[in-house]
Structure 1
Amino acid sequence: MAVVGAVLLGTAIPLPASAQPAYPVADPDPFYLAPADLGTLAPGEVVRTRRIDTWMYADTDGWQLAFRSTNSTGNPILAVTTVLLPRGVAHPPLVSYQAIVNSLGTKCAPSRSLFNLELQESPGLYLALERGWAVSVPDHLGPTGAYGAARLGGMITLDGVRAVQRVAELGLADSPVALAGYSGGGMASAWAAALAPSYAPELDLAAVVAGGVPADLEQMAEGLGFDPHPGFGLAFAAAIGLEREYPHRFPVSSQLNATGLWLRDWVANECRRFLLFHGAFRSAGQLAASTTLSTSATAHQVLRENSLRYFRDTPTAPLYLWHGTLDGLTPYDSVAEVVHRYCAAGARLTFVPYEISEHMTTAVVGFPEAYEYVAARLRGEPAPIRC
């Protein structure tokens, strides 16, 4: 996100072709093609389904669903989720697992990356499948790979649950539902929890577990600064992703120099490892036509609109959050502030801080207890409150 602070000037001028947002190449599979009448469908309404080969996930049957969802400007979009059903389990609970999709290309979306070795957390799905839970993994960045658009991820997650419940062949219409995710997946899960009372009030979420949540994108952008950084590739990708979702309010491309435009086009269809490698130790100053800090209120508002720290609604579902207190990637204080606000509003919240500085280590340490929390809620045990 560091590039955000450096390259946004917020000027409203006609853009040359090179400064238009760099959208990913559309997936050529017609399964991903939005129908002309998409806008007539309700959020979560199913457009098409198909059986898939789940060769990587033993003893499972697989489905993919294309359904109507909503983008950040309220327009209809086609979204996709992949469902894994454990064989031999009648009427399993449903866990919507929001994966870490730090990527820009359509090949990186879970419906593809679950099977092309790009999704590094794929083995972790067995933690849920071995418990006899059905798992739905939505493409929560949407059809344009809008990495960083957190609110979008929340809506797609909720609509994915709606869609799964509507497909009779899956047998999950009456199954209890939980949401889970870490880092970017935790952000989508936590946003889904916060949006559910207003966006999908009919959904009865038994539990939501989210760890390492980026709760303040503005803070993250300012914290990375302008010096070369090993994780700059992901920051740059997040800026590109937000521009895709907010092309008129977040015009990153118009502020890039020739090197910045070259790098944008080079990474526009790529996944996490490619982004990290080619962005490592670059900086905003190398890619921006100007290194002046943004004073654009509109650009900052986009960051805040995608930051839980500034979203005032309170989740009503039982919620479990965990976070590293020394996490240098996703600041602890912003999550702690959200927790304090939720607790003061009476949320059924358990918050577990870990004195760990490395971001992904906290995922490994925290997930077992998080899934025990889910299991207890699925058994009907009352949610504890630990603020």
Structure 2
Amino acid sequence: MASLEWLLDLRAVAKASSSGIITDDAPLENQLPPSKDPWYSAPDDWEIRQPGDVLRIRSASNLTNVVEGSAAVYHILYRSTDSRGQASWAVTTLFVPNSFYCSPSGKAAILSYQFAYNTCNVDSGPSFALSGVMAKSEPNLGIKSSTSLITEMLSFGWIINTPDHLGPTAAFGASVQAGRASLDALRAVHRLFNLRKHPGFNTAIWGYSGGSIATFAAAELQPSYSPDLSISAAVVGGLVDDISTALDKINRSPIAGTLIALLIGITAQYPEARAYLESCLVPEMKDEFMAAVNTEVTQNVGKYAGKDIYTFFKGGSAELRAPILQELYNKQAKLGYRDTPTMPMFLYKAIQDQFCTIDLTDATVDRLCEKGADIKFERNTVGNHVSEIDNGKPRAFGFLRSIFDESYKSPASKRNVVDVTADVSSQNK
């Protein structure tokens, strides 16, 4: 296997190339939020670059102290495309492990994990939040820190990629934006790696809940948007097939603030829909509603936990079903209606998922398998949307190991749906 030690100074590799990548030599110690950091901006003439082209790279040395098991960490700013097909850009964070996994054929492993950072606030993306709120657990929601998951994945010798898939407008709910940004992040990583000799890579994508939107969208957009990009498999947990069907479930729930983030995020790239949304707000409450744009995601969730978000609207919930918004939901929120994914997929979900009902995912799996998709779907008989994060993790790791060690064999039947009983809490007693 060719040495990958050069990944420990990927910035120097980019600097020595003739690729036109802007490199930042200053060590990143006290990171500014993206809204105040000049690095989070596209350079001159970036629009003429191709999707996936690397525009900037810097060493995120601050994160090596936060994420145990990372030998080097980089921020990569790259060209992408937004939901409307316009030139855009995004940032991804690349974690290099202390030692590299090597498959029987000599290939390394790249895993792109799309985090569920359900927000309309640009300062809540992983590239910044992993040094702050994402390094903390959320005991009120029963969720462990995101950095602990990265550490666990790095311990396997996998190279980990975590894109800010909502883009520079924090377009939460815009699945096309998220899918394209996720694909272009991997294009950018591959292009950087191709600057030096390497043994080849097996690449997989994974996401849960809000991260499932980006991951599933990437899988179904890949055949037409990035046919040049080789992805060996996709893992999708707690699939949010159509978040627009879950508005009533999210409202008044512990994550009711997510509804505000969704409405602002999904309209971020659609001025007409945004104007309509704002026109429906109770005038005296408009500033409070729109303040979510400048509110860190966990603060937004905490502020509106259990609240009735529909009271912000003059006509209540009916305003959110207007044709201009419904058309946007159909374009952006519904998954499973684009290209048929060509890579093997592992889906896992709690049958009693309280936010994203199992019947929608059953229908999505049936529809795609009829078109030839290779899907293994495990329906957990215990737990709910939150508990399945931990309950599903060992099974996800098992599937990914079979991809990276090249032992996975596509079954004779493309549709493999089974009920399982997986409760890690009972195993730990």
Measured against the shorter chain, the TM-score band is 0.7 to 0.9
Select which of 85, 90, 101 maps to 2:96: 85
Q: Give 1:361's aligned residue.
A: 387
Structure 1 CA distance, aligned partners of 2:34 and 2:94?
22
Cα displacement (A) at 1:35: 2.3
Q: Helix, strand or coil: the match of 1:267?
A: helix
Q: Which residue of 2 aligns with 1:13?
A: none
1:39 to partner: Cα distance = 1.4
CA-to-aligned-CA distance 1:318-338 (integer Å, 9 cap, x gap):
101111111111121111111
> What is the aligned partner in structure 2 of residue 15 from structure 1?
none
State the AA in 2 paired with 1:235. Answer: L
Q: Which residue in the other structure is 1:178 paired with?
A: 204
| 1:144-159 mapped onto 2 (5 Å cutoff) | 144-159=169-184
2:288 corresponds in structure 1 to: 263
Q: Which has the higher contact order (CA 8 A, sep 6+)?
A: 1
The answer to whether 1:51 aligns with 2:54 is no
Q: Which of 72, 77, 80 matches 1:66?
A: 77
Q: Which one is further off, 116-125 or 145-154?
A: 116-125
Q: Is the 8 A contact 2:220 2:336 kept in 1?
A: no
Residues 234, 276 of structure 1: 8 Å contact kept: yes
Q: Which residue, out of 283, 300, 309, partners 2:326?
A: 300
Deviation at 1:279, TM superposition (A): 1.2
Q: 1:103 aligns with which of 115, 119, 122?
A: 119
Question: 8 Å contact 1:304–1:310 — kept in the other structure?
Answer: no
Count of residues paired in the alignment: 361
Change (3 A) 1:175 1:259: farther
Partner of 2:190: 165
Q: Residue 358 of structure 1: CA displacement?
A: 2.4
Q: Please state whether the residue corresponding to 1:343 is helix, strand or coil.
A: helix
Classify 1:26/1:61 alpha carbon distance in 2 versus 1 (closer, same or farther; 3 Å). closer
Post-superposition shift, 1:117?
3.0
Query: Normalized against structure 2, the TM-score is what?
Result: 0.79
Secondary structure in 1 aligned to 2:72?
Answer: strand
CA–CA separation in structure 1 for the residues paired with 2:89 and 2:197? 23
TM-score by length of 1: 0.87
1:41 to 40, 49, 74: 49
1:284-295 to structure 2, matched below 5 A, reads 284-291=309-316, 293-294=318-319
Which residue of 2 is the match for residue 132 of structure 1? 157
**What's the secondary structure of 1:205's corresponding residue?**
coil
Alignment RMSD: 2.1
CA distance in 2 between partners of 1:287 and 1:202 (Å) = 45
Q: Distance in 2 between matches of 1:171 and 1:83?
A: 19
| Alpha-carbon displacement from aligned partner over 1:275-315 (angstroms, at most 9, x marks no partner) | 12211232244211222614532311211222344624210
Partner of 1:383: 410
Are residues 140 and 278 of structure 1, via their aligned partners in 2, closer, same or farther at CA, if it must alter by over 3 Å?
same
Residue 3 of structure 2: aligned partner: none
Cα distance in 2 for partners of 1:172, 1:222 equals 50
1:28 corresponds, among 26, 31, 36, to 36
Q: Is 2:117–2:210's contact at 8 Å kept on the other side of the alignment?
A: yes
The list of structure 1 runs, each at least 4 consecutive aligned residues, that deviate by more than 4 angstroms after superposition, is 169-173, 222-225
Q: Secondary structure at the match of 2:271?
A: coil
Residue 252 of structure 1: SS of its match in structure 2? helix
The residue aligned with 1:237 is 261
Amino acid of the structure 1 residue aligned with 2:40? Y
Structure 1 residue 131, shift from structure 2 partner = 0.8
